[in-house]
Structure 1
């Protein structure tokens, strides 16, 4: 049992009978003040809840009947773990989205050691990516798989950050068009060139790869221009190879394939060529957690993903601080109602003139935190 201190003078206490309600009474040995001690077990129950959620154990293995465990921890499903703004400048940040349903994706950013931010969205739009990126200081390099909307958001929020396109995803983009067993020689050659992208380790090797790809484009330029008539309409005969060529040519033109070989960046440490850190270190673990506790409805799947990301922060919130700081479903619903009422008032003002909102004149910090 924890030592009970006197609330009046801070001295030691001793047992002094019980109250009418049956609670233990304590009496100070110094000043004689009497007090009772109440224990709040919510923090310890939240820790138990997270031990279950982030492990492979079942509810029946948590030291109590499964029904009792659900009864004692059900209130914690209303909490929404939030990511604090990150003002530390990192050299390399990995970004990716994990889809939980067709219209629900959690965008995540992490470094080599820990998660730095996450954001819930309906799609990988530029607005969603900007909402995630605006809460973090721009890194030196961002590694991405080239999801839709990301580049537009990066140009707006992190214009000085260099981009490394994941080499494995670039290879996979070609493989989807050629398959692993191409039937024509042009496909065989392009597949071999794309596979060689994974083995480039020096600037000289990168220059040789670019020359080899340029030669392929030149050798098969006429072949890829061949046309045929299908359903009464003319079209290119090798559209899938043309699509693969467009993708690689765009990456070469943007200069994002070999950022990891930049000597200035490599001087401070190696820059990864792939997005394996977030794909295998974060997203895979979230999928494994959801599989262990399969059957959750969508909102609980989202919160479970948030709890995992929160546990991988550089300084995770303790259960007691989480209870005090994380918003609940009720708090978020109230914020939405307040925002809706504010929007209605703004629309009324805009009928007569231009309205200026509070956020246009005031800012709580250097990074945006008011995204939807």
Structure 2
């Protein structure tokens, strides 16, 4: 144990019984001063809180049948663990969003080993995606599942980044419309083509697939134009097949299906064709955390996701530094009051209070403005 020094003369102190409350009393042999020593164990409590949050343990498993733990953990729920951009350039980034409520999603960027950044938004709009992408240097390839708003944000934030659409999601979208047992011949052929998507290994095979797909579109074009009258309204007879065709046609025209086969990009090594790393390595783990601690309020679920993401970054800070540097609910309230009182922006930029996204908390500058 570290020696206790006298606050008056600096001499080493010795134990001198205990107080009526049971605390250790210390006495200085040089000047006779007597005192007690208190230790700041907040960092240790934070480590204990995070160990519980990221495990399967229940509150009842904690000391005091959870009551003491809940009282001590209450001090850590107000903390917002925010991403800290490192400036590292990644060859491939996987991006996806995990929905926590009907109008709340957390967008996540993942490099295959560590979480790079995350962002809370009301929906997957281009503004939200751009806010996630802006602090991160543009990667060579971004793998996504085709979420809304991503492409527009990529053109603004990462204009030189190539996009690889997750082939499994492309196949799943076709299967959603055709089912896995199509009854029409056109559906059977399109479903078979979508299955082949995940087994193409060369550009020659990819070109042959595109050619056969265009032949399918040409052969069944008149069939897909058939119209029926339902309840006095004209509508396409094979509407679901048309949607399946549209989903593939958009990807073919944008050239995002076979980015992983581009020789220039693949020269440094093979590229992924699906976003399975983020689905299994991040989303599945987050859902397990939320399932293990079901019953949390919405904001605590958000913070649980934030904590998991932060602790799986490449270099999370020690607990003592987290307590010293991370924003809290009080900081957010202060920022809201200051920024909401400012004049409205005329350029259409984001304003405080219009959604559950706080751009100022995802700032590029690691130092809050109130510390300037």
TM-score range with shorter-chain normalisation? 0.7 to 0.9
Per-residue CA distance 1:93-118 (angstroms, 9 max, x = gap): 00000000101100011011100000
* 1:295 match: secondary structure: coil
Structure-1 residue corresponding to 2:26:
25
Q: How does 1:5-154 map to 2 (within 5 A)?
A: 13-15=12-14, 17=16, 24-25=25-26, 37-154=37-154
Structure 2 length as normaliser, TM-score?
0.87
Distance 1:195 1:26, change over 3 A: farther
Per-residue CA distance 1:48-85 (angstroms, 9 max, x = gap): 01111000011232344311111111111111110112
Structure-1 residue corresponding to 2:225:
225
Q: Distance in 1 between matches of 2:265 and 2:28?
A: 65
Structure 1 length as normaliser, TM-score?
0.87
Distance 1:59 1:20, change over 3 A: closer
Q: What is the deviation of 1:3?
A: 4.8
* 1:119 match: secondary structure: strand
Q: What is the deviation of 1:214?
A: 1.4
Distance 1:39 1:254, change over 3 A: same
Q: Distance in 2 between matches of 1:283 and 1:12?
A: 56
Q: Distance in 1 between matches of 2:365 and 2:70?
A: 41
Distance 1:5 1:92, change over 3 A: farther
Contact 1:28 1:34 in 2 (8 A): no
Per-residue CA distance 1:101-160 (angstroms, 9 max, x = gap): 101100011011100000010000001101100121111110000100110000011101
Q: What is the deviation of 1:177?
A: 0.9
Structure-1 residue corresponding to 2:355:
none
* 1:87 match: secondary structure: coil
Q: Which structure 2 segments of 5+ residues have no match?
A: 347-362
Distance 1:366 1:221, change over 3 A: farther
Q: How does 1:1-372 map to 2 (within 5 A)?
A: 1-4=1-4, 13-15=12-14, 17=16, 24-25=25-26, 37-343=37-343
Distance 1:184 1:46, change over 3 A: same
Shifted more, 202-211 versus 279-288: the winner is 202-211
Q: What is the deviation of 1:330?
A: 1.2
Shifted more, 147-156 versus 322-331: the winner is 322-331
Q: Which structure 1 segments of 5+ residues have no match?
A: 348-363
Contact 2:163 2:259 in 1 (8 A): yes
Contact 2:135 2:364 in 1 (8 A): no
Distance 1:315 1:8, change over 3 A: farther
Per-residue CA distance 1:293-343 (angstroms, 9 max, x = gap): 111110100000000001100001211111111111111011100101123
Structure-1 residue corresponding to 2:351:
none
Distance 1:185 1:47, change over 3 A: same
Q: Distance in 2 between matches of 1:77 and 1:140?
A: 37
Contact 1:86 1:137 in 2 (8 A): no
User: How many correspondences in the alignment?
Assistant: 350
Shifted more, 57-66 versus 155-164: the winner is 57-66
Q: Distance in 1 between matches of 2:205 and 2:4?
A: 69
Q: Distance in 1 between matches of 2:274 and 2:27?
A: 62
Q: Distance in 2 between matches of 1:5 and 1:223?
A: 90
